[in-house]
Amino acid sequence: MSAPVRQALDAAARLGASGADACLVEEHRLTLEVVAGEVDKLTRAHDRVLCVRLYRGERVATVSSSKLSPGGIRELVGRARELADAAAPDPCNGLPEEAAPPESEGALDLYCERTARLEAEEALEWARAADGAARAADPRIRPIGWGRLSIRARSVHLARSDGFAGSYRTTSALGACMALAESPSEKQRGAVFRTALGIDGLPAPEEIGGEAARRAVQRLGAQKIPTVQAPVLYEPETAVTLVQHLAEALSGSTIDQGRSCLAGRLGDSVAVPDLELVDDGRLPDGLASRPFDGEGVATRRTPLIEKGTLRSYLLDTYTARRLGLRTTGNATRPLRGAPVPGPSNLFLEPGDEDADSIVARTERGLLVTDLLGFGFDPVTGDYSRGVAGLWIEGGTIRHPVQEVTVAGNLLDMLRGIDALGSDLRFFGPFGAPTIRFAELTIAGS
């Protein structure tokens, strides 16, 4: 057990806590950004944060700090006890009943040594290659975009006063490129972000740079279109935003607080029968995979929507108790702050149809390639987002579109899906295939 975690639990016990958990997260990050072939920004980060949740019977408080001297920890836990004593009791408070079993060796391989030790020179070469490829791809690409490589190495140590103790290490790499295309009358940007557990899992930087350039150039000449009700397609890159909206609507706290349009709908048919939404905390190569959740409960694969029927919410111990259900091992602990239920690796299972075939059999419609804003209200399910994309007519892409919105209601949208592609792709921990909605309102001129 790490020393600060042990000291925190000991201090809690001495101060009369009825229970406690303590989590120490240590992170190293390196980011290198290149503009016009030259280093523009180099940043290195080192953070260590200790988060403690202290129970006084049915009262709880959460504190965090990076002052990890024995005195700093005593002060921190003292503050936790002071706050817990002021808080109102809640019978659903308390440590989890479950504890993740010890992890067998190599069961979940989340750490790449080479990535953790990446030097600035290698990051520079990578970022330069991405940026260079974007600029070489098309003469309309200006040398004012950027290429970026970021790596993060993280270790997590969690222990509870009931005896659970565990730790794990993860790495992640983010390779990105932003390309700016210019014509006499406009500028358009194309951005590509790719993530993997290690740098070897990323696509080649030239591929990322080339795609950023393609995405920027395809937007040149974008027009506003007249308001129309029409089919709307989302490519995987933009379809994952729908998965993120579902994560919010299915989070145990959104449900418990009466802020979700999906509350009270367990067992109901909420989507087309082909729709399968899965949360998997142990997905191989999943960016959010980990052996135990933010409270030390075992992670697992949880079908949330199965054959279109709502089967489960994303729950932690507190929200599970509040709803009379069992935790799904989805306690997410932010760097600082109390655990809340959240998604791990969350994705829609692919369908059978090739994405190109879906486009080819679209008589007319909008393929959404970029989104602006937030535009989703989990209380009502109302969906209204600024988008840019490509207009399809007779099965082929005709021209780019910008400055329009797509609107509907998520509950209707889930039942209005009429095509699911076979092209499931992940962006960070969220995954989706191409999706077509039979009809949404596109607002333009």
Partner 1 sequence: MTSPSEPPLPLDRAMLVRGLESALGPGVDEAELFLEHGVRERLRLERGEVRSVSSEVVQGVGVRAVAGEKTGYAHSDEVTVESLRLAGGTARAIARSGEAARPVALGTPKRPTHDLYPVSVAPTDVAVPDRIHLLEEIDRYARTLDPKVERVQAELYCEHRQVAIVSSDGRNVYDDRPLLRLMVEASVSRDSKRRVGRAGVGGRYGFDVLVGDERWREAVRTAVQRAVTNLDDVPCPAGEMDVVLGPGWPGILLHEAIGHGLEADFNRRGTSAFAGRVGERIATELCTIVDDGTLAGRRGSLNVDDEGTPTERTVLVERGILRGYMTDRLNARLLGVRPTGNGRRESYAHPPMPRMTNTFLLAGTDDPAEILRGVRRGLYAVSFGGGSVDIANGSFVFEANEAYRIEDGRVGPPVRGATLIGNGADVLLRIDAVGHDLALDRGVGICGKLGQTVPVGVGLPTVRVRGLTVGGTEG
Among 11-19, 231-239, 283-291, 396-404, the segment contacting partner 1 (CB under 8 A): 396-404
Give least dist CB 375 to partner 1, A.
Answer: 5
Among 39-47, 103-111, 153-161, 273-281, the segment contacting partner 1 (CB under 8 A): 39-47
Paired with 419 in beta bridges are 436
Q: Does 375 interact with partner 1 (rule: CB under 8 A)? A: yes
Among 11-19, 77-85, 236-244, 307-315, the segment contacting partner 1 (CB under 8 A): 77-85
Q: Does 227 interact with partner 1 (rule: CB under 8 A)? A: yes
Give least dist CB 357 to partner 1, A.
Answer: 28
Q: Does 165 interact with partner 1 (rule: CB under 8 A)? A: no
Q: Which of residues 290-349 bind partner 1 (CB under 8 A)?
A: 336-338
Residue environment code for 24-61, b if the CB has 16+ CB neighbours within 10 A, otherwise e: bbbbbbbbbbbbeeeeeeeeeeeeebbbbbbbbeebbb
Q: Does 245 interact with partner 1 (rule: CB under 8 A)? A: no
- Using CB under 8 A, which of 167, 269, 309, 384 touches partner 1? 384
- Using CB under 8 A, which of 160, 194, 219, 333 touches partner 1? 219
Residues 275/308, Cβ–Cβ less than 8 Å: yes
Q: Does 83 interact with partner 1 (rule: CB under 8 A)? A: yes
**Residue 317 backbone phi and psi in degrees, to 5:** -65, -45
Tokens, residue 193: 């972000």
| Per-residue mark of binding to partner 1, 403-432 (x: CB under 8 A) | xxxxxxx-----------------------
- Using CB under 8 A, which of 13, 15, 228, 325 touches partner 1? 228
Q: How far is CA 374 from CA 43, 199, 235, 255, 269, in A?
A: 29, 30, 18, 19, 26
Q: Does 224 interact with partner 1 (rule: CB under 8 A)? A: yes
Separation of alpha carbons 267 and 137, rounded Å: 51
How big, in percent rounded to 5, are the helix, strand and coil portions of the chain? 25, 40, 35
Give least dist CB 426 to partner 1, A.
Answer: 20
Separation of alpha carbons 179 and 429, rounded Å: 24
**Using the 8-state DSSP alphabet, how is residue 201 labeled?**
G
Q: How far is CA 403 from the centre of its chain?
A: 26
Strands 430-432 and 425-427, how do they pair? Answer: antiparallel
Q: Does 87 interact with partner 1 (rule: CB under 8 A)? A: yes
Q: Does 86 interact with partner 1 (rule: CB under 8 A)? A: yes
**Residue 358 backbone phi and psi in degrees, to 5:** -65, -45
Among 6-14, 130-138, 141-149, 428-436, the segment contacting partner 1 (CB under 8 A): 141-149
Give least dist CB 102 to partner 1, A.
Answer: 30
Q: Does 94 interact with partner 1 (rule: CB under 8 A)? A: no
Let me know how long the chain is: 445
Closer to partner 1 by CB, 91 or 163: give it. Answer: 91
